[in-house]
Amino acid sequence: MAATVTPITHQHFKEASKFYNSPACLSISEPYILCSHQALHVAMTIDKAYIRGSMAAILSVLQHSSCPHNIAFHFLISATANASLLRATISSSFPYLYFRLYPFDHSSVAPLISTSIRSALDCPLNYARIYLASLLPSCIHRVLYLDSDLILVDDIAELAAIQLGDNSVLAATEYCSANFVSYFTPTFWSNPCLSLTFANRKACYFNTGVMVMDLDRWREGDYTRKIEEWMEIQKRMRIYELGSLPPFLLVFAGNIVPVDHRWNQHGLGGDNFDGLCRDLHPGPVSVLHWSGKGKPWARLDAKTPCILDALWASYDLLDTSFAFDS
């Protein structure tokens, strides 16, 4: 039986302004950007529910980049999505953008996904970041992964240039003041064979919505398989409640390069239940991230925006003058 094609969107978006490289930027011709070490590679997922957020995120990256023409975007989409429509949607708003689409066949990960505290976290595409090293061409050695519910207000090159040292696979914002124990169930902590995984590790919560990833080290360490092994354990005995984050913590917590908190001011979407308004954390801001249940586009449409949603709205490319399909 042929796979059902899922319409990606009936939304229509305005064309963004064209952005230009500063004189100091290296010149990378388009045929070579895909495998260029000088290019900045950004990976994101795009689907029907989040495409409006994705378009705003892309615009924010380009608008604040000193070398926007040196950025290659790698979009992970569901294998059942209408790739032609999605490609046309992106191209119409960003005619000069270099990007590729990567269909993600979720048949292997779907059986490993356990229900979590919020249904949106159970979407197979939410787990696609685990498979970046195999989905992207092997010539791409390093990538910056971004969630779709964020905007950048600083030059992405500064974040992408973070050094991973001799052994680390990824860099992300770490929050050691968070209650790390709460990310796993009593079943996990009461089983020494499981809880000892954090022995000799200063394990802290980190957010996976903004990550600098060394794909060569990921491939060499077979980290996709290591995450899948924890997901298999989760299917047998429930050891966590929160989607794709806990397997990342189990494999990497305590062994990442910490990134300054300004690069992921997360939690602006509230918690996973009510999605109430939240303020920024103290300190400077380079990335505003609406992780949590409340998304700015939904709150704006419902005419119940939070104060910070107005910042997101300035990057919203939705063409509200278009007559929407019913």
Kindly state whether residue 325 falls inside one of the protein's structural domains.
no
Residue with more model confidence, 74 or 2: 74
Residue 125's domain spans which residues?
Answer: 33-263
Dihedral sign of CA atoms 124, 118, 115, 261 in order? positive
Is the predicted pLDDT of residue 265 greater than 80, yes or no?
yes
Cβ-based neighbour number of residue 38 at 10 Å: 12
Is 67 domain-assigned?
A: yes
The answer to whether residue 140 scores a pLDDT higher than 90 is yes
Share of the chain above pLDDT 90, in %: 80
Establish if 70 belongs to a structural domain. Answer: yes
Interatomic CA distance for residues 121 and 151, integer angstroms: 20
Which band of pLDDT confidence, cut at 50, 70 and 90, is reported for residue 5? very low
Specify if 183 maps to a domain: yes
From CA 289, how far away is CA 280, in angstroms rounded? 10
Q: Among the ranges 4-13, 176-185, 266-275, which has the highest mean pLDDT value?
A: 176-185
In the predicted structure, residue 81 carries a pLDDT above the cut 60 = yes
pLDDT for 174 beyond 90: yes
Q: What is the pLDDT of residue 6?
A: 40
C-alpha distances (whole Å) from 228 to each of 39, 170, 178, 250, 293 are 30, 18, 25, 11, 25
Q: What is the pLDDT of residue 120?
A: 62
Is residue 276 assigned to a domain? no
Q: Please indicate whether residue 325 or residue 135 has the higher confidence score (pLDDT).
A: 135
Q: Does the pLDDT value for residue 57 go beyond 90?
A: yes
Rounded to 5 degrees, what angle do the CA atoms 167, 173, 179 make? 105
Is the confidence at residue 152, as pLDDT, over 60? yes
The CATH number linked to 153 is 3.90.550.10
**Percentage, residues of the chain above pLDDT 70:** 94
Report the run of H or E that residue 102 belongs to, with start and end: strand 98-104
pLDDT at 325: 44
- With cut-offs at 50, 70 and 90, classify the pLDDT of residue 119: low
Could you give the CA distance from residue 295 to residue 264 in angstroms, rounded to a whole number? 16
Q: What is the pLDDT of residue 96?
A: 94
- 197-222 mean pLDDT: 97
Q: Is residue 214 part of a domain?
A: yes
Residue 173 lies in a domain: yes
Predicted pLDDT of residue 22: 96
Number of folded domains in the chain?
1
Cα distance between residue 189 and residue 204, in whole Å: 15
Per-residue pLDDT band for 117 (boundaries 50, 70, 90) equals low
pLDDT of amino acid 78? 94
What are the DSSP calls for 107-172, one per residue?
Answer: TTTGGGPPP-SSGGGG-GGGGGGGGHHHHS-TT--EEEEE-SSEEE-S-HHHHHT---TTT-SEEE
Residue 297 lies in a domain: no
- pLDDT tens across 238-247, in order? 999 888 999 9
- The pair of structure tokens assigned to 92 is 């119409």
